[in-house]
Homo-oligomer: A and B are copies of this chain.
C-alpha cells in the first residue's frame, strides 16, 4: 500500500500514544521509554498482575484498545506474534493512525507461519489505512516530544538529523554516540522488515519534513530499487542524504535475509547508484557521524588551497596526507608570507613550509600572527588551526576558550572559512577531546573537528 504522509506525520509527531502488551519480562521498557513523552500516554494489557505493575508507573491501563477515550495517533505494539493479528484488528476498529510493530517473527523467519502472519498484517494495514512501522523494529524517536525507543535515550532537545535505520541496534547506538558528540536527532525511525512503509517512504517523508536538515540512512536492502533511486534523487537535491549500507559482501547479504528479510543489492551497484543520485556513501558509524558534523558545522569552501598551522611535526605530516587524499592542496605560500615568517619564526623544533609546524612554545605564542599571514596569502582559501590532544597532556577548557576567542576575532577580518581541527591520535584522546570539541561547537563558528571529519567533509566536492 502507498504511505499516507498526513497519517505518517502523526506517528512522528503524535499527541496520543498507546503501548499495547508491554510486559514485566521487558521491565515495562516501552512504557518507561515514554516517561518523557509530552502527550497522552495509555497502556493496553489484559493480565491483571501485569496491569498492577503498569499502573504503579502512573500509566492508565485499558484491557482493550477500543476503550481508549482519545483518538490514537501511534500504537506501540509489543505483543507475542500469536496475538498480533487480533491487536491489528483492534487497531483497525479503533481507527488507529499508525502502528509501531515491535513484534518479530514475520517474513524474516522464512517460515510458512511467518509469511502467513505477514499477509494478515498487510491485509489489515490496507483495510484501515494503518501506517505500520516494522514489524521487527524499534520504531520512532522524537526527542523534542520525548517519544523514545529506549529509556536510555535523551529527551527535550532536537537536532538536525533525520535517521532512517533498518537495524534497531544501529538506530539506538547512533542516537547515543551522536548526542555525546553534540549532534542531535529531530526524528528517527528503526523500521525492520519495512513490510508496509519502507526506506523509500521514510526518505520521501523526511525530505518534506522541515525539522529534518540532514538525512542519515542505515539500509540493508530496498524493496523497489527504481522507486528508491527516484526518491533519493529528488530528496538529495534538497537535503544532504548519507547512506550506510550493511551487507556489502556476499556473506553480509546472506545475513541480511535472516535479519530483515530484505533482498540484497551488489555493493558496486549500490555505490554507483547512490553517487549518481546525489547522495553520499559511508561505511561505518564513525564516518556517518563525522560526515554529519562536517555538513552541519562547516561553512561552504570556495577553493582547494588549505593553510594549516599548529600541531607538531608528525601531525603535520598526517594532516597534509588527509587533505591531499580528499583532493585538496596544502600549497606553498607566497614569497611575502615566507619573508614575514622568516622574520620571527623559530625553526628549532618547528618549520613553516605549510603545514606550519609551530613546534615549541615560542612559535605558539605567535599563532595569531601566523594565522593572519595565512589569511593574507592568496594561495590559501581555507584556514585550519590544529588543536592537539594527547592522553594525559590535553589542553584545558580554559586554553580552548583562548583559542576560540582568537579565532572568533580573526573571523571578523576574513571571509575565508576557518576550521579549528581537534587532532587526536588515539581513541582515548578522542574521549578526552570531547568537552573541548563541544565547547567550540557551541560557538558554531569557528567549528572544530577531528581529522576524519575533514575527510568526510571533502567527499561532497559539489558543495564547495
Binding site for B on A (CB under 8 A): 81, 104-105, 108-111, 114, 136, 150, 152, 166-170, 172-174, 176-177, 180, 218, 220, 246-252, 254-260, 285-286, 312-321, 323-325, 329-330, 347-349, 351-355, 357, 359, 388, 390-393, 425-431
Contact = CB atoms under 8 A, between A and B. Distances in A.
B352 A425 contact: no
A352 to B, nearest CB: 7
B425 A348 contact: no
Copies assembled: 2
B173 A426 contact: yes
A249 B306 CA distance: 15
A254 B458 CA distance: 21
A246 to B, nearest CB: 4
B320 A104 contact: no
Contacts of A249: 320-321, 324-325
B429 A431 contact: no
A314 B218 contact: yes
A251 B349 contact: no
B255 A320 contact: yes
A251 B330 contact: yes
Nearest to A254: B353
Centre residue among A136, A170, A247, A425 by max chain B CB count within 10 A: A425
Given A152-B393, A177-B428, A393-B152, A169 B314 contact: yes
B104 A349 contact: yes
B114 A246 contact: no
A314 B357 contact: no
B176 A390 contact: yes
Contact of A169 (B109, B173, B315): B315
A257 B355 CA distance: 11
A251 B329 contact: yes
A321 B244 CA distance: 13
Given A249-B325, A313-B167, A348-B105, A320 B393 contact: no
B252 A320 contact: yes
B136 A390 contact: no
A256 B173 contact: no
A448 B321 CA distance: 32
Given A104-B359, A170-B425, A391-B173, A316 B114 contact: no
Contacts of A426: 173-174, 176-177, 285-286
Contact of A256 (B172, B258, B317, B319): B317
A220 B319 CA distance: 13
A55 B246 CA distance: 62
Contact of A392 (B152, B257, B425): B152
Nearest to A153: B392
A174 to B, nearest CB: 8
Contact of A313 (B172, B180, B260, B393): B260
Contacts of A81: 348
A304 to B, nearest CB: 11
A431 B427 contact: yes
